[in-house]
């Protein structure tokens, strides 16, 4: 038993963080937001350095990819790294054209990154499909939740190539874990940002962070973030077992709701303004919470994995 990262994993993490330091960060995310733009240069930089593909490396795999996704989320990167590093490798040996967006069959609707995506992975009942997108296939939609969003037509989700038996389950699990990993990164950054602010912000002659009522709430949040991180990493380490992934997702996305509310409440009015960076991560938590059926669906997936379908 050893929860520490090994040397290779540490090296990957340090390297990706150095790259993100240069190419990503809250300021960059805020710059791209009004235009709803995808960070193609960051995507290219991550791909060139091999980070998007660590999940395909036979010597590495899911855990390393998870570390990358967590780090990109902490840096507020506007790239579909979860789909690229954690999902696509589970479905096809050859890389897909990027960016990659993830959608559910038969559901037209708002999808993260769809407006700039060149690949769409579609979760069907039996099979997953890969759709090569043409420009204009997905119209951008206006949203304010930290991700550029696009609308996939219901018809668009029925095209493309089937990815074979078992692909739907693999896509579902990988997608769930990718959401959870991204939530972990966003929660870590939102918590760190808020704790830093509350150490500085003084009211009633003291730092707000010195009030015990505030400390206890931040401590509770820290416990939730820590729990999320290790459940996600454990699931990745165990090669994404259905129940373990559903558990990690249910835990992390439930924590995400709490982190959102608490960080905003404890930041006061400034957290409501665009001049304060919190929204870069907090609004994303809200978006991640709703994907793939949300916490309720992750919980149902645990029950289905452990005890089978209802009535069977």
Ligand X SMILES: Cc1cc2nc3c(=O)[nH]c(=O)nc-3n(C[C@H](O)[C@H](O)[C@H](O)COP(=O)(O)OP(=O)(O)OC[C@H]3O[C@@H](n4cnc5c(N)ncnc54)[C@H](O)[C@@H]3O)c2cc1C
Q: E strand or H helix at 132, and its extent?
A: strand 128-132
In the shown chain, the binding pattern of residues 210 to 239 toward ligand X, with x for contact by CB under 6 A and - for none, equals -x-xx-------------------------
Pick 92 or 300: Cβ nearer another protein = 300
Q: Which of 201, 218, 258, 304 binds ligand X (CB under 6 A)?
A: 201
- 165 touching ligand X, by CB under 6 A: no
Q: Which of 29, 208, 231, 240 binds ligand X (CB under 6 A)?
A: 208
CA angle 135-140-141, nearest 5°? Answer: 160
Neighbours of 264 (CB within 10 A): 17
Which residue number is nearest to ligand X in terms of Cβ? 268
Q: How many CA atoms lie within 13 A of 138 on its CB side?
A: 32
Instruction: Tell me whether strands 149-152 and 109-112 are parallel, antiparallel or unpaired.
Output: antiparallel
- 210 touching another protein, by CB under 8 A: no
Question: Which structure tokens are listed for 127?
Answer: 């099979």
- Per DSSP, the three-state class of 125 is coil
In this structure, the chain runs to a length of 312
**Touching ligand X, residues 259-298 (CB under 6 A):** 265-266, 268-269, 272
CB of 217 to ligand X, least distance (A): 9
Pick 272 or 307: Cβ nearer ligand X = 272
**Touching another protein, residues 129-168 (CB under 8 A):** 141-145, 149
Q: Which residues share a beta bridge with 128?
A: 123
Contact assessment for residue 253 and residue 279, using Cβ atoms and an 8 Å cutoff? no
Residues near another protein, by CB under 8 A: 109-112, 141-145, 149, 202-205, 213-214, 257, 261, 264-265, 268-269, 272-275, 279, 283, 286-287, 289-291, 293-296
């Amino acid at each position: 038993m050893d929860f520490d990262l090994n040397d290779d994993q540490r090296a990957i993490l340090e390297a990706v963080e150095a790259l993100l330091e240069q190419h990503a960060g809250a300021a960059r995310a805020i710059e791209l937001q009004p235009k709803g733009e995808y960070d193609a240069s960051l995507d290219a930089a991550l791909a060139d350095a091999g980070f998007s593909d660590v999940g395909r490396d036979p010597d590495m795999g899911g855990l390393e990819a998870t570390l990358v996704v967590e780090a990109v989320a902490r840096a507020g990167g506007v790239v579909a790294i979860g789909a690229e590093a954690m999902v696509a490798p589970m479905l096809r040996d050859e890389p897909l054209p990027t960016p990659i967006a993830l959608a559910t069959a038969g559901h037209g609707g708002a999808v993260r990154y769809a407006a700039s995506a060149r690949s769409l992975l579609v979760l069907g009942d039996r099979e997953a499909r890969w759709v090569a997108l043409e420009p204009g296939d997905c119209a951008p939609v206006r949203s304010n939740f930290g991700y550029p969003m696009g609308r996939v037509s219901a018809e668009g989700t029925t095209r493309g190539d089937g990815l074979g038996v078992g692909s739907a389950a693999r896509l579902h699990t990988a997608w769930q874990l990718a959401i959870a990993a991204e939530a972990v990164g966003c929660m870590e950054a939102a918590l760190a940002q808020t704790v830093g602010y509350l150490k500085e912000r003084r009211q009633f002659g003291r730092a707000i962070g010195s009030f015990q009522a505030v400390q206890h709430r931040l401590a509770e949040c820290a416990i939730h973030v820590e729990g999320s991180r290790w459940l996600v990493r454990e699931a990745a380490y165990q090669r994404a077992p259905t129940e373990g992934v559903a558990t990690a997702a249910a835990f992390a996305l439930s924590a995400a709701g709490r982190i959102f509310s608490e960080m905003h409440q404890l930041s006061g009015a400034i957290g409501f303004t665009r001049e304060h960076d919190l929204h870069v991560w907090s609004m994303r938590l809200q978006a991640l919470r709703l994907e793939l059926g949300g916490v309720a669906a992750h919980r149902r997936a645990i029950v289905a994995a452990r005890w089978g379908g209802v009535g069977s």
